[in-house]
């Protein structure tokens, strides 16, 4: 998708990966960029507004655990734009297995509610013009990650939910495509203070391996995420690891056997 003149909504736009993605997006001559996040970073927002006056950049407070917040933000954005939303990036997240419900609420339920609400505005039968929804999963959403079993479960849910949304029948009905993004370890605050975020409190060899895992910079991840939006196709599952994009082919594990 050519991003020039598009209306984009980015959830988690003030986060480590989010800020870098917004920075990349703003170089694409967007028409507008709505940032949904838990807290406003007015300093960064006003810098972006000053540096990119051709793009209408605005913020909506959204606590992704609150469905009413999500619905209000999309409604206000649609009214503000007086037009359609072309691209949504569900890029918020939390990695802390000591908070089980919150981990599921932010990483999985948040993506589901944001996606279904966005479809109300983007889907062609609802008066939208179609577009693209990009859900940020993780390598932990491809491979079980025992150190963070709850986070891994939530992210696996994101991968499967997004792949299901990319069903070709849904795509031809709504005109909205879906891409799953699975970053590898990326240098942001999400990876800080890991010893207090693991599923269990007792020490394992995985605790010692964690700090040794190679990490990419958030700007490399962001550059590849924007490239994925520009070049990706409906149903793609793309791993963004150490500055590379790899298309992941997940095998079909089961087919329904039909009564004759």
Residues 6+ apart with CB under 8 A from 28: 3, 4, 6, 226
Tokens of 211: 């700090």
Least Å distance, CB 82 to ligand NAD, is 25
Residue 192 or residue 231: which is nearer to ligand NAD going by CB? 192
List alpha helices for 131-214, DSSP H. Answer: 149-165, 168-174, 205-209
- Residues annotated as part of the active site: 151
Angle at 159 between CA 214 and CA 215, to 5 degrees: 10
**The token pair that represents 30 in the structure block:** 């967007």
Site for ligand NAD, rule CB under 6 A: 12, 14-18, 37-38, 62-65, 91-95, 106, 136, 138, 183, 185-186, 188-191
Angle 16-26/218-231 helices, nearest 10 degrees? 50
Q: Would you say 214 or 255 has its CB closer to ligand NAD?
A: 214
Q: Are 250 and 184 in contact (CB under 8 A)?
A: no
**Contact criterion met (CB below 8 Å) for 193 and 211:** no
| Least separation in angstroms between CB 209 and ligand NAD | 15
Question: 160: which 2 tokens?
Answer: 């499967």
Choose between 92 and 128: whose C-beta lies nearer to ligand NAD: 92
**Contact, 148 vs 104, CB < 8 A?**
no
Nearer to ligand NAD, 6 or 60 (CB): 60
Chain CA centroid to CA 166, Å:
15
Query: What is the Cα–Cα distance from 120 to 56, expressed in whole angstroms?
Result: 22
Q: Min. distance of Cβ 127 from ligand NAD in angstroms? A: 27
CB-nearer residue toward ligand NAD: 49 or 69 = 69
Shortest Cβ distance from residue 66 to ligand NAD (Å)?
A: 8
Using DSSP, state whether 126 is helix, strand or coil: helix
Minimum CB–partner distance for residue 157 and ligand NAD (Å): 12
């Amino acid at each position: 998708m050519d991003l020039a003149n598009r209306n984009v909504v980015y959830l988690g736009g003030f986060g480590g990966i989010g800020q870098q993605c917004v920075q990349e997006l703003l170089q694409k001559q967007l028409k507008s960029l709505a940032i949904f996040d838990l807290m406003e970073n007015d300093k960064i927002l006003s810098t972006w507004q000053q540096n990119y006056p051709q793009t209408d950049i605005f913020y909506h407070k959204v606590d992704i655990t609150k469905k009413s917040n999500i619905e209000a933000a999309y409604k206000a954005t649609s009214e503000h734009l007086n037009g359609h939303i072309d691209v949504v990036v569900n890029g918020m997240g939390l990695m802390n297995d000591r908070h089980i419900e919150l981990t599921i609420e932010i990483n999985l339920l948040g993506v589901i509610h944001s996606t279904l609400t966005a479809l109300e505005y983007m889907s062609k039968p609802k008066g939208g013009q179609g577009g693209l929804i990009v859900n940020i999963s993780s390598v932990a959403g491809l491979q079980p990650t025992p150190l963070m079993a709850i986070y891994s479960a939530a992210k696996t849910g994101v991968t499967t939910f997004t792949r299901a949304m990319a069903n070709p029948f849904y795509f031809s009905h709504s005109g909205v495509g879906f891409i799953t993004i699975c970053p590898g370890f990326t240098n942001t605050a999400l990876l800080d203070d890991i010893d207090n975020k693991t599923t269990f409190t007792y020490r394992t060899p995985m605790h010692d391996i964690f700090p040794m895992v190679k990490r990419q910079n958030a700007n490399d991840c962001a550059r590849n995420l924007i490239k994925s939006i520009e070049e990706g196709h409906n149903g793609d599952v793309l791993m963004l690891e150490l500055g590379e994009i790899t298309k992941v082919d997940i095998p079909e594990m089961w087919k329904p056997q039909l009564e004759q």
